[in-house]
Each structure stands twice: as C-alpha cells, then as structure tokens.
A = this chain, B = another copy of it.
Amino acid sequence: MTVPITAAAPDAPTAQGPSAADGSAEGPSAPQVLARCRELVRPALAAAVDLLHPWPAEMAAFSLGWCEVGGCPGPGGGGEGKGVRQALTVLCAEAAGAPAESAVAGAVAVELIHTFTLLHDDIMDGDETRRQRPTVWKAYGTGPAVLAGDALFALALETLATAENAHSAAAIRRLTQALRHLVHGQAEDLLFESRPWTGPGAVRLDEYRSMADHKTGALLGCAAALGAQLAGAPSSTVAALAQTGRHLGVAFQTVDDLLGVWGDPEVTGKPVHSDLRRGKKTFPVLAALSSSTPAARRLGELLASPSPLDDAALRDAAALIEEAGGRAAALDEARRHLDLATRSLHSVPLDPAAVGDILALLPFLVSRRM
C-alpha cells in the first residue's frame, strides 16, 4: 500500500523551486537528496562502527544492512527511504548556510542512535522481522542485541563528543535531552499496551500525540537541530528546524500507524494487520474509537474480546476503523503535521537550495516506509 499523501497539505510546497542546484526549475528528487547525504556520511559512519569490538560491530553492520549474519556483504544500506535522519542533519546545516561537512559527526550520531533504538525496541516489542530480515535479537540473541544497542548508543555520543566543532557541547546537550524524551515516549507506548481500549482507563488521543511526539518526533527534531547547531546557527533557526523535524517525525509515525493496519506485508515486511494483531494502540484505532459512531461502538466490543482476534475479526476491525473515520483522521493528522513542518521551515531565513531539498523529502518520506 502507498499512503496517498503525496500532495501533503493544500498549501504544501513541492520539491520544485527556483533554488534547484542545477539552475533548472527542477530540483533533485528525494531519492537523489537521500543518496547524496548517505554518500557524504557513509565513510565517517563506517569509521565509527570500526571502532567497536568486532562482535557488536557485526551486529551494527547487520542492522545497517551492510552485512548478513557472519559478516558476508548484505543488501546494502540504500533502501529508498533510508537515511532520512542523517539527511535531515546534513540538509539543516546547509540550510543554515554551512557546508554539509560541518554536520557529518551529527549525522553519524543520529544514525547510530536510530539504529540503537531499532535494536532495543525490537527486543521490547518482541518483533522478529524488520525489512524482510530477522531482527538482531532474533539473529544473534537477546543479550548480544542489548549489548550491540549499548555499543551504538555509546558510539553516537563519542562521535559527537570528539567532533572538531565549536558547537559540539551544545549538540550533545540536545542529543541527550532528545534521548530522555525518546525513552519517555517508548515507556508510554509500552504502557499503552496494557491499558483498555474503552472506558475511563482508555488511551486518549492527546496522550497518543504526546507519546508520538516523544517517541518519534524527538529524534527527528534532534536530527534537524543538530545540523543547524553544528553550523553555528542562531537559536531561532535551531528552534525552527527542530520544530520542522519534530512535526515530520509525528507525521511519519502516523503514517506508520496507517501501514500497521492497512500496509502491504510485501512492503512493510510485517504481517498483515500487524499492529491490530498485537493490540497496539495506534492513531487510526484511537481516532475511530473516539468518534461516537455506531462503528466505533462495534469496534470497541470487537477489540474487548479476551481472546486474540482471528484473521476474519482483524479484517472486520480494519473495516470498522475505516467506517468510523479512523483512517481519514490519521491521514488528516499526517497532513496537518506535514503542513506544520513546512510552516516552521518557512518561519526563518534559510538557504533556498537546502530548503528545496528538505521540501523534496517531506511528502516522499510519509508516502512510503523509511
């Protein structure tokens, strides 16, 4: 399934603009932008991973798609939407008028932190596959996956701490605060699982929004801010770009929720109705349940079943979520955050070419899986 948000908000800009690097009306496409940033960051990322003990280094390389279990070359790190966080860091440095190179240590740090969160979240969520491959804990064991995550976490901070950049101390402050928010969001998400679907203890939409802002918004916001910060941008610029990243993160999370109900397993690499199957509290379901429609009532009864839902019941649930307006509400939510991301980007003076590249990423990133 492709989530149809390519047009973003009604007033959302497109990737085309007068600022295209080649002087034509057409700027580079999102895959081109991502590939350029990946190529810039890759040597430093590989050099960082090389500092690790060979065993966690292999698990890190496996997780990054660079190798298979045992160390043979892997599928490569160039999945279409991959590397969005590092790209955001690089582009935000350029947007703040600095050369892309100034942001490389920050880009490496956010990519390492992102990989660390995948490793540990997969343990916490019990997820056995990711991108059609076993997760690290499934392939190497839980203990080793915990260790590899810790190694990546430490390496991310070390990379930033040893960067030759006058602003690295401020960048580290921001990254460590983002990490606390990220843990906060993950804690909420895990606790949501044991709360009821309906009644006084049910998860409210505003609680969900706060969780998504912490869990996904914090790291994308930090990725954007680090680029600006390492570029020595004024605090208003750092704040505006942080907001852009944060809204982009929440938009992405909402799209991820849509894919968790209606996503094509071939694309998501997860079973059909994966989030519904696990009873995960996601935006479309919570929005549907809060709709005061007959479909919402029937959905609540279905989800309250003490036994796991079979395939037919899962199909019914997905249909009821759509009937109760949950799918449309989630699409609106994603569009709203894309719009807010764009507005924030336009609220401060920035390099137009870099802004064009960032705008090219926005609709692309929420129209497919990162």
Chain A contact residues, CB within 8 Å of chain B: 51-53, 55-56, 120, 123-126, 142-144, 146-147, 149-151, 153-155, 157-158, 161-162, 168-169, 172-173, 176-177, 179-180, 182-184, 186-188, 190-191
Chain B residues within an 8 Å CB radius of A188: 53
Min C-beta distance of A187 to chain B, whole Å = 4
Q: Is the CB of B146 within 8 A of A158?
A: no
Q: Which of B52, B124, B169, B177 makes the CB contact (< 8 A) with A146? A: B124
Give CA–CA (A125, B146) in the complex, Å: 11
Chain B residues within an 8 Å CB radius of A150: 120, 149, 153, 179, 183
Give CA–CA (A168, B53) in the complex, Å: 27
Chain B residues within an 8 Å CB radius of A187: 53, 55-56, 147, 151
Q: Is the CB of A147 within 8 A of B169?
A: no
Copies of this protein in the assembly total 2
Give CA–CA (A177, B150) in the complex, Å: 13
Give CA–CA (A162, B174) in the complex, Å: 10
Chain B residues within an 8 Å CB radius of A120: 146-147, 150
Give CA–CA (A154, B185) in the complex, Å: 14
Q: Is the CB of A157 within 8 A of B183?
A: no
Question: What are some 28 contacts across the A-B interface (CB < 8 A)?
Answer: A52-B184, A55-B187, A55-B191, A56-B183, A56-B187, A120-B147, A125-B143, A143-B190, A146-B146, A147-B187, A149-B150, A150-B179, A151-B183, A151-B187, A154-B176, A154-B180, A154-B182, A154-B183, A155-B180, A157-B179, A158-B173, A161-B169, A161-B172, A161-B173, A161-B176, A162-B173, A169-B172, A172-B172
With contact pairs A53-B187, A150-B153, A169-B169 given, residues A142 and B142 touching in the complex (Cβ less than 8 Å): yes
Nearest neighbor of A187 in chain B, beta-carbon distance: B53
With contact pairs A161-B172, A169-B169 given, residues A147 and B56 touching in the complex (Cβ less than 8 Å): no
